[in-house]
Chain A
Amino acid sequence: MNTEISVPFKDISFPTPRQMTLRQARRHKGFLLGSSVLLLIIIMALLAPLLAPHDPYDQNLSKRLTPPVWHAKGTWDHPLGTDNLGRDYLSRLMYGARISLIIGVAAMLISGVIGTTMGVLAGFFGGRVDMVVNAMITTRLALPIMLVALAVVALVGGSLQIVVLVLGLMIWNRFALVMRASTQQLRSMDYVSAAKAAGCSTPRIILTEVMPNIMNNLIVVATLEITRAILIEASLSFLGMGVQPPLPSWGLMVAEAKGFMLFSPWMIAIPGAAIFILVLSINLLGDGIRDITAPEGRS
């Protein structure tokens, strides 16, 4: 108490909102853990050509199914062993991070554009627009996406582009829902009314007044959707209808290793754990961002 009083007024520094957020972030364990692991994975993906010990496509049938280095028969030449075509598992894992991240981010971007547009329009205009968007969201929720995605990929043929496109067109519902609710809240805010009164055009209001203020929610939903896309792709690949080899997506690596699960469990454990860690870190990051931007309470 005493010290507070004795501090001269001019020395009290009020933190800016940005500083507050940073301070919050530094104290949030989940956020720190999530973001640092994710950062590691991203670095690994970006620098794969520099870091990977081998070409991920380089096959050597005489060296196939080498166990990882901690195994009695492992060698440092292939720290995580080799797969059933004798390709270096560590290198494939590094390049695979690229594919899995590309799938997650690209599908999220597509669905984000669709969902946010729909949600913001519905929330901003209300009335008929809202009704139409609402009906579209309900319909989309009633469509069993995994089955539809599986059917389309099976009939059209799987490739990275097709998988990303199908996922992107399927998982926009949460964006639309959350953006709609946030925009509805904002619509009645003073500064939006003020902008309207000042004669700003609608697109301008949406872009300059509404969008920046729903950014936090947008980011949280985006992290959720990235993980959803990654998990669905893994399931599609598991059923043999995801991206096509020799692309080393992690889902595909799990699928290719499932036949070796009983006797070489490390083969499935490594990419399986990689997916798990990636999804976990993105989820922690998302939870963290939500907590930090809405500090009233963890929910």
Chain B
Amino acid sequence: MTGKLCKVLICVCISLAFLTAAASPALAGKKDDTLYFSWKKELESLDRYFNTAREGMIVSRQICDDLLYRDPDTLQYKPLLAKSYKWLDTTTMEFELRQGITFHNGEKFDADDVVYTINFVSNPDNKVLVQRNVNWIDRAEKLGPYKVKLYLKEPFPSALEYLAGNIPIYPNEYYAKVGPKGFGIKPIGTGPYKVVEHEVGKKIVFEKNKNYFKDSPKGQPSIGRLVQRTIPEDTTMAAELMTGGLDWIYQVPKDQADSLANVPNVQVLKAETMRVGWLVMDAAGRSGENPFQKVAVRKAVSHAIDREGISRNLVGGQSRVIHSHCFPTQFGCTDAVVKYDYNPVKAKELLAEAGYPNGFEIDLHGYRNRPYAEAMIGNLQAVGIKANLKYLKYSALREKVYGSKVTFNFTTWGSYGVNDISNITGRFYNFTEVDYARDEQVRDWLKEGDSIIDRNKRKAVYNKALNRIADEAYVLPLFTWVANYAFSKELDFKPYPDAVPRFFLSKWK
């Protein structure tokens, strides 16, 4: 009796476990005209002005339009919500707007929306998170139902760049009613996709905007629905992609991308992005007396790190070593500076010369791309510098950086996809909390460059600053980052260097 009972019990347990598992998972993709994709970030708000994440930019570009559009292929600025634009002088611009465009909620687009949006975001009291995007604007003024004048605070050469992608235009009546909070949950734009479902931080569902204006330089959206889910683990994402649960993932680690390339239904693309990394050495001595106050030590570190090897083996793809503190295609960036080759012997000599024949011990802080940091620690160890990795979450690290507690820092910057040097170099040498060089000369040159309109003069002054940074080896610029995309072979997708996927340009094959 008990023997039978045992068997029955076991059978029940086993069959329960497996019966539930019999059916096969539903497949995503082309069949139901829905693109399933995922990222790691729990996006806190869909209001572009009140998030700082790349993911926020991705959402904004699908659902909203800016006054201008930078064609990602030709890099030319084209009018988007504007019909045309012109500079009246160095601090005023005039925009003629398109007519007949409606927002997703049916609200009509006109000059009021543009004036409201620009005046709202440029007002510091409204505390837009990325002030750099808007703090060059003085105000906007309505000249007619479809005519707007924009006043700048001072000459700002990269204004077009910001107007083409970082200043989406919102519907004034709706935004005034719901505010940033309501807009962050249910955003309304004029863009090629509209948000139809949103669980904050978990899921966003986009639907094709069938009324998207016909002659938009962004083109017409093709895929019916986009569904975003938050998944924190690379491995989980890759497994979902392989089994058809997802159609598109990005920021895939290099080795996983290499392996995914061999999976039959998956295609992998590796594209360089605007993100660059560098090592900050506390030359100003903000964190107390330290070896990096000697330029020979900073140069020794520069010679000790095998940037080429890390870039080739760990980053892979189109990643390249950089020698000045900016992304190579950014306006004002130059590679014509002192180059420190990988030379451990020389590094040791420099260390000895600086009074550290046996090296020294130091904490290296970092917040992302741990394997790169580990590889650099290996390089440093080889010349006698014993670096201990202190890996922190971004916010915790920022706290330490601001508090002058970080002597040696591995950090990165993506420039918000802005193809102009003003969004990178200037931010790190302006004597604020992130500036561990504190060089007045560099600060003044960069500030001057940010306000000159003449392109050649601008370049020349940036050139001087970048050269001084390199000569003094305040930081060691490392290499460019690569975004690895992996997606279903049924999908036609093209990546761009600003690493903002444009789903409105994608279609099923």
Contact = CB atoms under 8 A, between A and B. Distances in A.
A and B touch in the complex (CB under 8 A): yes
Contacts of B373: 245
9 contacts: A64-B313, A65-B255, A159-B388, A245-B370, A245-B389, A246-B374, A259-B256, A262-B256, A264-B259
Interface string B379-413: 00100000011111100100000000000000000
A157 B390 contact: yes
A242 to B, nearest CB: 10
Nearest to B312: A61
Nearest to B238: A262
Contacts, number: 75
Contacts of B370: 240, 245, 256
Nearest to B309: A61
Contacts of A64: 313
A260 B392 contact: no
B239 interface: yes
A158 interface: yes
B364 to A, nearest CB: 10
Contact of A244 (B256, B391, B396): B391
Contacts of A85: 314, 371, 374-375, 378
Given A61-B375, A259-B255, A262-B242, A240 B314 contact: no
Given A59-B375, A65-B255, A246 B235 contact: no
Interface in A104-142: none
A154 interface: yes
B427 to A, nearest CB: 25
A57 B235 contact: no
Contacts of B476: none
B396 A261 contact: no
Interface residues of A, number: 26
B378 A59 contact: yes
Contacts of B378: 57-59, 85, 246
Contacts of A58: 378
Given A57-B378, A262-B238, A262-B239, 18 more contacts: A59-B375, A65-B255, A85-B375, A85-B378, A157-B390, A157-B391, A157-B396, A244-B388, A244-B390, A245-B373, A246-B374, A246-B377, A259-B255, A262-B235, A262-B256, A262-B259, A263-B256, A264-B259
Contact of A260 (B233, B256, B313, B377): B256
Nearest to A257: B235
A84 interface: yes
A258 interface: yes
B235 A61 contact: no
A155 interface: yes
Interface of A: 57-59, 61-62, 64-65, 84-85, 154-155, 157-159, 240, 244-246, 256, 258-264
A61 B313 contact: yes
B381 A57 contact: yes
Nearest to B371: A84
Given A61-B375, A259-B253, A154 B259 contact: no
B389 A246 contact: yes
Nearest to B364: A244
Interface string B306-327: 1001100110000000000000
Given A59-B378, A85-B375, A154 B393 contact: yes
B234 interface: yes
B255 A258 contact: no
B396 A154 contact: yes
Interface string B350-379: 000000000000000000001101110110
B45 to A, nearest CB: 23
Interface string B419-445: 000000000000000000000000000
Contacts of A65: 255
B270 to A, nearest CB: 16
Interface residues of B, number: 30
Contact of B392 (A157, A246, A259, A261): A157
Given A157-B390, A245-B370, A62 B375 contact: no
Contacts of A159: 388, 390
B408 to A, nearest CB: 14
Contact of A240 (B253, B309, B391): B391
A298 B393 CA distance: 47
Contacts of A258: 233-235
Nearest to A238: B233
A154 B397 CA distance: 10
A154 B23 CA distance: 41
B350 to A, nearest CB: 22
User: A-B pairs with the 5 shortest C-beta distances?
Assistant: A263-B259, A59-B378, A61-B313, A244-B389, A61-B309
Contacts of A259: 234-235, 253, 255-256
Nearest to A239: B232
Contacts of A264: 255, 259
Contact of A61 (B259, B310, B390, B392): B310
A158 B371 contact: no
Nearest to A154: B393
Nearest to A58: B378
Given A61-B313, A246-B377, A158 B253 contact: no
A91 to B, nearest CB: 14
A62 B375 CA distance: 12
Interface in B237-265: 238-239, 242, 253, 255-256, 259
A61 B371 CA distance: 11
B321 to A, nearest CB: 14
A107 to B, nearest CB: 21
A84 B373 CA distance: 12
A97 to B, nearest CB: 20
A130 B242 CA distance: 58
Nearest to A55: B381
A23 B375 CA distance: 53
Contacts of B381: 57
Nearest to B234: A259
A155 B399 CA distance: 10
B191 to A, nearest CB: 34
Contacts of B313: 61-62, 64
A154 B313 CA distance: 30
B410 to A, nearest CB: 13
A263 B242 CA distance: 12
B262 to A, nearest CB: 8
A58 B382 CA distance: 9
A244 B373 CA distance: 11
Contact of A261 (B235, B306, B374): B235
A196 B137 CA distance: 85
Report which residue of B371, B373, B374, B396 has the largest number of chain A beta carbons within 10 angstroms of its beta carbon: B374
B132 to A, nearest CB: 28
A264 B235 CA distance: 12
A245 B392 contact: no
A260 to B, nearest CB: 6
